[in-house]
Amino acid sequence: MAPLLSYHDMNALLEAELDRLQPPVRILEAGCGRHWGLKLAIPYTLTGIDLDREALAARTDLNRTIVGDLRTAEFPPGSFDVVYCAFVLEHVKGAEQVLERFLGWLAPGGLLIIKVPDRDSAYGFLARTTPLWVHVLTYRWLLGYREAGTPGHGPYPTAYDEVISAPGLARFCAAHGLGAPQVRQLCSYTGRRLVTTGAFVVSALSAGQLAWRHNNLLLVARAPRSPQPSAAGTRSAAAGRVGAATQRRGIVAA
């Protein structure tokens, strides 16, 4: 794993990555919320989709807005050069299936950018084992976000599927032919001594199983240049090969 990234360094890395793409770039911000944090030098179009109508209404920078669910939304294959999804998938039951949908929406060789909390961090453990009202109070009184929990503002209920972790993302990339993915660690509470101390204590109580120095992950990966066979397609092809071999040997299946 590469050294811990600051949020400034993360944005600089992403901006440089995106500015290398051939314009105009078609970007889908999946679960777009209230804010787009990147400043790009190239021409691009930005489509935003979110379940939260109030959050979408706060956006003035989107070329197209869609109120919708990532699990059921439909886009033609290859609709986007970039799918960018920041701190959304931890709230989705069936996050791996949503990631697969992202790959279908990407053009060949398109860029997948995912930011998620790490479920295997102290922060992620607390987030997935405590009720929503605890998250709201934490945002309001510890992090100073006074509008937390009001319409159009997080936090939202969490799911934290297994893929929301460094090993889970690595397995997903390997299973879907995403070449040389980058998974980087980030920390949102740097400089907050109380939060850092709490994360350290939780990590210690877990005998070091839960990370405390970081709480978030950044994945940057490229979609395959040519379509990958689905798991069902692979099984079907394998069955066909077995059937052909069986016929050549003169064996009849019941």
Residue 84 resides in a domain: yes
Residue 125 resides in a domain: no
Tens digit of each residue's pLDDT (9 = 90 or more) over 199-249:
999 999 999 999 999 999 999 999 988 755 544 333 333 333 333 333 333
Residue 199 resides in a domain: no
Spatial separation of the C-alpha atoms in residues 241 and 243, rounded to whole Å: 5
Structural domain containing residue 162? 7-119+156-193+211-248
Percent of the chain at pLDDT exceeding 70: 87
pLDDT bracket for residue 152 (50, 70, 90):
confident
Tens digit of each residue's pLDDT (9 = 90 or more) over 155-205:
888 999 999 999 999 999 999 999 778 899 999 888 888 889 999 999 999
Question: What is the number of structural domains in the chain?
Answer: 1
Q: Any residues with CB less than 8 A from the CB of 158 and at least 6 apart, and which?
A: 90, 91, 127, 128, 132, 135
Residue 198 resides in a domain: no
Residue 144 resides in a domain: no
Torsion of CA 153, 12, 114, 131, to 10 degrees: -40
* Full-model pTM: 0.84
Residue 90 resides in a domain: yes
* CATH number reported for the structural domain that contains residue 46 in this entry: 3.40.50.150
Residue 162 resides in a domain: yes
Residue 218 resides in a domain: yes
